């Protein structure tokens, strides 16, 4: 019995096949092999053709099935017959508009498109901050609802033809099954979900002048959400009738991939930018909207009255912190500070020659644009406390990594102020988490245990499909084979040193950003 997982990203579409019994990943494929194009007709715009995602999915599926059959020691036909369920992960916050035939009306406005910011700001002002934060848990901002408002005002001829609006994962599920539906988690990431009334937010819909009919049917995250049609089965080279049983946005899905489901658990990534995604067990929000809050994949509170939703209810909210200046700062140091050809491993050895706190040197890592955690201020990157008699490039290398960690700590403290307990951080063994300095500093300054795993989004989507199809009874069974590669415990003897370095960094940040 096999599970197939898709990850619909803005750079590529990934597909994997997982053996449901052993939990082993039999194949991983992606397409296109070079980064997918993003259309930017004007500054700040970012669009993609949803039909291109479908073409990428077809190519990735063919490669994944061929490789999986080879690794499973069976024919491709046998592997296809054994496919039991499909799961989908997708780039969050996008807008896909389709007509009554399910045809795309315009290119998708994707997550990094900023044209809708004024529409979200006006909605926040008109509805009031108390209402938006109390009901939506966020500002309407630049999310899906605001993007639809832009279409309504600027492309009325397109808007009039819209039958349903969808997130990227909703669209791919519809292409697979012919069924248009969405999830509470998806609606919450688009700013459509009212957490106080547990329904689509009528006040927001009325403010923008949206018809409730635009919202597809709401289904649980884990359930049968449609079955692969005969026409699609022939197109993809798989069997008809395979159920789609899971979908989740990329950050909630990354948390799922790392088996992060319960309050106090954290999933983190630290590539070019960094993300800390924590699970909260109570409905809460940051009054300054420095972090975003969405329904996590296992959030069911208030949904028992909806068709197909379980009668047992639990509050599980994902609190999302994004730091733009993460790995990009480390790579900048590599290009501009250390000797040419120096590897990241060599940089880690250079940093290790410097004591905790970099002997008074602090780096503010916010040099990659406005940071939401800083209330969208452009603070820029700054180097504080340089002594020409003490510091050298080794200090800069360490201070850069510490500065990135301290920005994570700054955001985690905001999460704690929302009532979250941060006990454990799950992460993939990749990017900045390959650095011992980064890992030890993060554990030391937060007091959290860090666990490193080998997984990715498409594998998580496949396991999510297994949960939704009832092949696994719960997430513990689904992820029982998830390989824990390393555990980093906080060094309690050095806690004071980490905390002192963080206090000095935070004081420098306060002076630059003029925050209190």
The pLDDT score that the predictor gives to residue 218 is 97
pLDDT band at 516 (very low <50, low <70, confident <90, very high): very low
CATH classification of the domain holding 415: 3.30.420.40
Choice among 106-110, 195-199, 215-219, 510-514 with the minimum mean pLDDT: 510-514
Distance CA 461, CA 198 (A): 26
Q: Is the pLDDT of residue 473 over 80?
A: yes
The pLDDT score that the predictor gives to residue 515 is 55
Which of 223, 251, 279 marks a domain boundary?
251
Run of H or E residues at 437: helix 436-446
What pTM, to 2 d.p., does this model score? 0.93
Residue range 49-103, pLDDT digits in tens: 999 999 999 999 999 999 999 999 999 999 999 999 999 999 999 999 999 999 9
The pLDDT score that the predictor gives to residue 272 is 87
How does 213-228 read in b/e, with b if 16+ C-beta sit within 10 Å?
ebbbebbbbbbbbbbb
Residue 27 placed within a domain: yes
Which of 213, 229, 251 marks a domain boundary?
251
Structural domain that includes position 384? 325-454+483-516
| Same domain, residue pair 241 and 112 | yes
Run of H or E residues at 90: strand 83-90
| Same domain, residue pair 157 and 62 | yes
Choice among 92-96, 138-142, 228-232, 396-400 with the minimum mean pLDDT: 138-142
Q: How far is CA 179 from the centre of its chain?
A: 25
Contact assessment for residue 415 and residue 277, using Cβ atoms and an 8 Å cutoff: no
Q: Is the pLDDT of residue 262 over 60?
A: yes
| Same domain, residue pair 236 and 363 | no
| Same domain, residue pair 28 and 167 | yes
Run of H or E residues at 4: strand 2-8
Instruction: Write the DSSP symbol of residue 135.
Output: I
Residue 410 placed within a domain: yes
Q: Which of 162, 274, 143, 266 shows the shortest CA–CA distance to 210?
A: 162
| Same domain, residue pair 430 and 333 | yes
Percentage of the chain beyond pLDDT 90 is 91
Phi, psi (degrees; rounded to nearest 5) at 451: -120, 130
| Diameter of the chain measured on Cα atoms | 73
Residue 120 placed within a domain: yes
| Range 101-107 average pLDDT | 98
| Same domain, residue pair 109 and 14 | yes
| Same domain, residue pair 72 and 202 | yes
| Same domain, residue pair 226 and 342 | no
The pLDDT score that the predictor gives to residue 309 is 87
Q: What is the DSSP string of 333-393?
A: HHHHTSPTT--HHHHHHHHHTS-TTGGG-EEEEE-SS-BGGGTTB--EEEEE---TTT--H
Residue 440 placed within a domain: yes
Q: How far is CA 262 from the centre of its chain?
A: 17
Distance CA 66, CA 56 (A): 16
Residue 265 placed within a domain: no
Residue range 263-292, pLDDT digits in tens: 989 999 998 889 999 999 999 999 998 999
pLDDT band at 14 (very low <50, low <70, confident <90, very high): very high
Residue 477 placed within a domain: no
Q: How far is CA 307 from the centre of its chain?
A: 27
Residue 306 placed within a domain: no
Give the position of tokens 């599920």: 173
| Same domain, residue pair 238 and 344 | no
Q: Is the pLDDT of residue 361 over 90?
A: yes
Q: How far is CA 46 from the centre of its chain?
A: 18
Run of H or E residues at 25: strand 25-31
Q: Is the pLDDT of residue 190 over 60?
A: yes
Residue 344 placed within a domain: yes
Number of domains in the chain: 2
| Same domain, residue pair 62 and 159 | yes
The pLDDT score that the predictor gives to residue 469 is 98
The pLDDT score that the predictor gives to residue 376 is 82
| Range 178-202 average pLDDT | 97
Q: Which of 24, 28, 2, 25 shows the shortest CA–CA distance to 15?
A: 28
H, E, C per residue of 3-48 = EEEEEECCCCEEEEEEECCCCCEEEEEEECCCCCCCECCCCCCCEE
Which of 251, 286, 305 marks a domain boundary?
251
| Same domain, residue pair 236 and 350 | no
The pLDDT score that the predictor gives to residue 209 is 98
379 token code pair: 């603070």
pLDDT band at 296 (very low <50, low <70, confident <90, very high): very high
Distance CA 47, CA 106 (A): 9
Contact assessment for residue 85 and residue 245, using Cβ atoms and an 8 Å cutoff: yes
| Same domain, residue pair 246 and 392 | no
């Amino acid at each position: 019995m096999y599970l197939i997982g898709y990850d619909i990203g803005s750079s590529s579409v990934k597909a994997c096949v997982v053996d449901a019994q052993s939990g082993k990943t039999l194949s991983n494929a992606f397409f296109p092999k070079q980064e997918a194009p993003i259309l930017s007709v004007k500054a700040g715009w970012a669009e993609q053709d949803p039909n291109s995602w479908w073409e990428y999915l077809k190519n990735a599926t063919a490669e994944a099935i061929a490789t999986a059959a080879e690794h499973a020691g069976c024919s491709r036909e046998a592997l296809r017959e054994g496919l039991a369920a499909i799961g989908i992960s997708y780039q969050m916050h996008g807008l896909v508009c389709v007509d009554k035939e399910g045809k795309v009306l315009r290119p998708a406005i994707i997550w990094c498109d900023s044209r809708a910011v004024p529409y979200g700001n006006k909605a926040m002002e008109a509805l009031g901050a108390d209402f938006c934060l109390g009901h939506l848990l966020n500002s309407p901002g630049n999310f899906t609802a605001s993007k639809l408002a832009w279409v309504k005002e600027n492309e009325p001829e397109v808007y009039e033809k819209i039958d349903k609006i969808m997130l990227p994962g909703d669209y791919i599920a519809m292409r697979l099954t012919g069924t248009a539906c969405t999830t509470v988690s998806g609606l919450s990431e688009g700013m459509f979900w009212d957490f106080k009334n547990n329904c689509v937010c009528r006040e927001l819909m009325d403010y923008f002048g949206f018809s409730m009919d635009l919202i597809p049917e709401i289904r649980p995250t884990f359930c049968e959400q449609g079955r692969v049609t005969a026409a699609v089965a022939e197109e993809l080279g798989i069997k008809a009738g395979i159920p789609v049983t899971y979908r989740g946005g990329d950050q909630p899905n990354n948390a799922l991939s790392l088996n992060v489901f319960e309050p106090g658990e954290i999933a983190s990534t630290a590539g070019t930018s960094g993300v800390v995604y924590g699970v909260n067990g109570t409905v809460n929000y940051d009054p300054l909207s420095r972090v975003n809050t969405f329904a996590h994949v296992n959030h069911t509170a208030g949904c028992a009255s909806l068709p197909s939703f379980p009668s047992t209810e639990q509050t599980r909210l994902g609190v999302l912190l994004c730091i733009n200046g993460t790995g990009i700062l480390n790579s900048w140091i590599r290009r501009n500070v250390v000797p040419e050809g120096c590897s990241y491993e060599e940089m880690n050895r250079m940093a290790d020659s410097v004591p905790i706190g970099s002997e008074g040197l602090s780096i503010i890592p916010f040099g990659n644009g406005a940071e939401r955690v800083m209330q969208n201020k452009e603070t820029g990157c700054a180097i504080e406390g340089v002594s020409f008699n003490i510091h050298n490039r080794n200090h800069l290398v360490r201070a850069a990594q510490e500065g990135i960690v301290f920005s994570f700590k700054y955001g985690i403290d905001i999460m704690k102020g929302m009532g979250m307990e941060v006990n454990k951080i799950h992460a993939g063994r990749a990017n900045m988490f390959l650095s011992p300095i980064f890992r030890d500093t993060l554990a030391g300054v937060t007091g959290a245990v860090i666990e490193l795993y080998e997984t990715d989004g498409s594998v998580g989507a496949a396991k999510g499909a297994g949960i939704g199809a009832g092949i696994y009874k719960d997430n513990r069974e689904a992820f029982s084979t998830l390989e824990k590669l390393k555990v980093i415990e906080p060094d309690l003897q050095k806690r004071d040193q980490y905390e002192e370095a963080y206090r000095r960094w935070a004081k420098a940040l306060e002076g630059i950003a003029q925050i209190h």
